[in-house]
């Protein structure tokens, strides 16, 4: 899944874009420079845990019911138009009319398995009455099922909004401290995860019918990452809360015209040394908690749900014995002092400088596994340039492919499966689709069509594709 979001220039003021000037933080909207191209947030959720690369047709059951024949056709002969249709199928663009400083946002989603385990949500939240709302965009990359991500899609923004509303509203000229904002966001995440875990425990002891219990357990048995961005138009502050390995990257134009890529979150996996140090400190004397980039077998070191890494081992065993639930962790892992996985996010705050064109990209590991932060920023920057007044979008006419006939074995022979500058193409109106197309093969039509055609996944092929 990919979303893209872009900001709208504010009413132009008669000052020069380069003129340095101070911005009053705190209570008034900040004038945008005349050339603020936008604040683009692009989010992508492509692969799910354990599935390296499979992009199948994304699809929630209702779609399948309504369009069965179409699904069959596109699986076997994705022409270029079909590729575009598949990439764009779950894309959207929103013109942000009510948010000063934000022009637009785009999103797209392409599932790596079916049913899709990823969810997203976007919209305005109002922490305080009579104050400008904040723009919220969030991605939930689910694993071992879609239920945790689905729960977060429904509940996370309301929980965060409620938590923020408990802070004293800042009066004119005041700015709520970063620390306060961070701690209430953390609390909202941790409390919501606590309710997922506790609800399942309570249900297991209840007298509800079995099928009802199982439905209630689902968000605690499955798991999900969460990446939330909140933009406050009054202070121009962008808060990013990250649980798991989705990543937020700010693209910002520097004075020399180059685009900088500024990561606003750090992937929380067993490869993250700060995360491993934290775990070791929390579980002194336990060896080998993180191995091969994983934490007790789980890729991420923080997640919602995943009760198996959180419950005391007797609770997990009880679930497993009575409900064929999450099961114990493989014997090589000793569950001595759970919880090992937390849903407490790492939160960052960045003040957006309205004098610098900037945009935000949010994407799941499905995209970041195939593209660096800087490549993604360069791609969106190129997309913005192609759309700026005076430049004509170049739609390439079909021409004979210069690429040799392709099959997946070519990955072993050196054809790169990730983004390649040499294959870059700008043809999509949606910035998220643009990123997705370029991380899947760009203008190498046979490569990208082949990937999209592999539906359903052929066992044993996912790793290379």
Closest to ligand NAG by CB, 25 vs 294, is 294
Rounded CA-CA distance 159/191 in Å is: 9
Closest to ligand NAG by CB, 299 vs 362, is 299
Closest to ligand NAG by CB, 362 vs 447, is 447
Closest to ligand NAG by CB, 48 vs 196, is 48
Q: What is the CA 219 to chain-centroid distance, rounded?
A: 19
Closest to ligand NAG by CB, 271 vs 353, is 271
Q: How far is the CB of 341 from ligand NAG (least distance, A)?
A: 14
Cβ of 354: how many Cβ atoms within 10 Å?
23
Closest to ligand NAG by CB, 78 vs 127, is 78
Closest to ligand NAG by CB, 271 vs 313, is 271
Contact positions vs ligand NAG (CB under 6 A): 269-271, 293-294, 299, 396, 401-402, 422-425, 443
Q: How far is the CB of 286 from ligand NAG (least distance, A)?
A: 20
- CA distances (Å), origin 85, targets 90, 107, 452: 9, 14, 11
Closest to ligand NAG by CB, 179 vs 401, is 401
> Which neighbouring-strand residues pair with 240?
229, 348
Closest to ligand NAG by CB, 151 vs 368, is 368
Alpha-carbon Rg for the chain in angstroms: 23
Q: How far is the CB of 301 from ligand NAG (least distance, A)?
A: 10
Q: How far is the CB of 18 from ligand NAG (least distance, A)?
A: 31
SS in 3 state form for the chain? CEEEEECCCCCCCCCCCCCCCCCCCCCCCCCCCCCCCCCCEEEECCCCCCCCCCCCCCCCHHHHHHCHHHHHHHHHCCCHHHHHHHHHCCCEEEECCCCCCCCEEEEECCCCCCCCCEEEEEEEECCCCCCCCEEEEEEEEEECCCHHHHHHHHHHHHHHHHHHHCCCCCCCCCCCCHHHHHHHHHHHHHHHHHHHHHHHHHHHHCCCCHHHHHHHHHHHHCEECEEEEEEECCCCEEEEEEECCCEEEEEEECCCCCEEEEECCCCCECCCHHHHHHHHHHCCCCCCCEECCEECCECECECEECHHHCCCHHHHHHHHHHHCCCCCCCCCCCCCCCCCCECCCEEEEEECCCCCCEEEEEECHHHHCCCCHHHHHHHHHHHHHHHCCCCCCCCCCCCCCCCCCCCCHHHHCCCCCCCCHHHCCCCCCCHHHHHHHHHHCCCCHHHHHHHHHCCCCCCCCCCCC
The answer to whether the beta carbons of residues 241 and 228 sit under 8 Å apart is yes
Q: How far is the CB of 293 from ligand NAG (least distance, A)?
A: 3
Q: What are phi and psi of 452, to 5 degrees?
A: -70, -25
Rounded CA-CA distance 50/182 in Å is: 31
Position of minimal CB gap to ligand NAG? 293
Q: How far is the CB of 131 from ligand NAG (least distance, A)?
A: 40
Closest to ligand NAG by CB, 357 vs 442, is 442
Q: How far is the CB of 398 from ligand NAG (least distance, A)?
A: 9
Q: How far is the CB of 102 from ligand NAG (least distance, A)?
A: 30
Closest to ligand NAG by CB, 401 vs 461, is 401
Q: How far is the CB of 270 from ligand NAG (least distance, A)?
A: 6
The answer to whether the beta carbons of residues 23 and 236 sit under 8 Å apart is yes
Closest to ligand NAG by CB, 127 vs 441, is 441
Q: How far is the CB of 417 from ligand NAG (least distance, A)?
A: 14
Q: How far is the CB of 292 from ligand NAG (least distance, A)?
A: 7
Q: How far is the CB of 309 from ligand NAG (least distance, A)?
A: 15
């Amino acid at each position: 899944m990919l979303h893209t979001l872009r900001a709208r220039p504010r009413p132009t003021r008669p000052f020069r874009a380069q003129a340095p000037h101070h911005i009053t933080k705190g209570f008034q909207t900040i004038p945008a420079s005349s050339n603020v191209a936008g604040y683009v947030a692009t989010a992508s959720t492509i692969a799910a845990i354990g599935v390296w690369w499979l992009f199948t047709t994304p699809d929630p059951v209702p779609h399948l019911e309504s369009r069965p024949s179409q699904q069959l056709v596109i699986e076997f002969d994705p022409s270029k138009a079909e590729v575009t249709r598949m990439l764009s199928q779950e894309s959207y663009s929103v013109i942000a009319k009510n948010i000063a400083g934000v022009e637009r946002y785009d999103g797209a989603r392409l599932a790596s398995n079916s049913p899709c385990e990823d969810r997203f949500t976007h919209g305005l939240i109002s922490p305080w009455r009579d104050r400008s709302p904040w723009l919220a965009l969030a991605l939930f990359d689910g694993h071992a099922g879609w239920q945790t991500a689905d729960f977060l899609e429904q509940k996370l923004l309301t929980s965060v909004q409620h938590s923020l509303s408990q802070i004293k509203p800042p009066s004119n000229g005041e700015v709520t401290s970063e620390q306060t904002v961070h701690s209430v966001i953390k609390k909202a995440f941790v409390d919501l995860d606590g309710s997922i875990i506790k609800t399942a425990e309570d249900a297991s002891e209840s007298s509800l019918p079995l099928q009802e219990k199982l439905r209630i357990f689902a968000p605690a048995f499955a798991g999900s990452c969460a990446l939330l961005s909140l933009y406050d138009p009054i202070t121009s502050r962008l808060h990013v809360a990250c649980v798991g390995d989705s990543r937020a990257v700010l693209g910002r134009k520097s004075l020399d015209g180059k685009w900088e890529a500024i990561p606003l979150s750090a992937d929380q996996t067993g490869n993250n040394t700060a995360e491993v140090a934290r775990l070791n400190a929390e579980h002194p004397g336990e060896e080998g908690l993180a191995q091969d980039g994983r934490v007790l077998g789980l890729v991420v070191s923080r997640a919602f749900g995943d009760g198996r890494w959180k419950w005391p081992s007797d609770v997990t065993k009880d679930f497993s014995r009575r409900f064929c639930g999450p099961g114990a962790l493989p014997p090589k892992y000793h569950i001595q002092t759970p919880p090992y996985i937390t849903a407490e996010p790492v939160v960052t705050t960045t003040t957006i400088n309205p004098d610098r064109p900037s945009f935000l990209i949010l994407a799941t590991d499905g995209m970041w596994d195939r593209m660096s932060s800087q490549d993604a920023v360069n791609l969106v920057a190129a997309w913005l340039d192609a759309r700026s007044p005076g430049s004509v979008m170049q739609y390439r006419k079909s021409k004979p492919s210069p690429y040799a006939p392709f099959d997946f074995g070519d990955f072993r022979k050196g054809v790169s499966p990730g983004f390649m500058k040499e294959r870059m193409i700008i043809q999509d109106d949606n910035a998220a689709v643009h990123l997705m197309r370029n991380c899947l093969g760009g203008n190498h039509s046979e490569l990208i069509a082949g990937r999209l055609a592999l539906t359903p996944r052929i066992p044993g092929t996912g790793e290379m594709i």
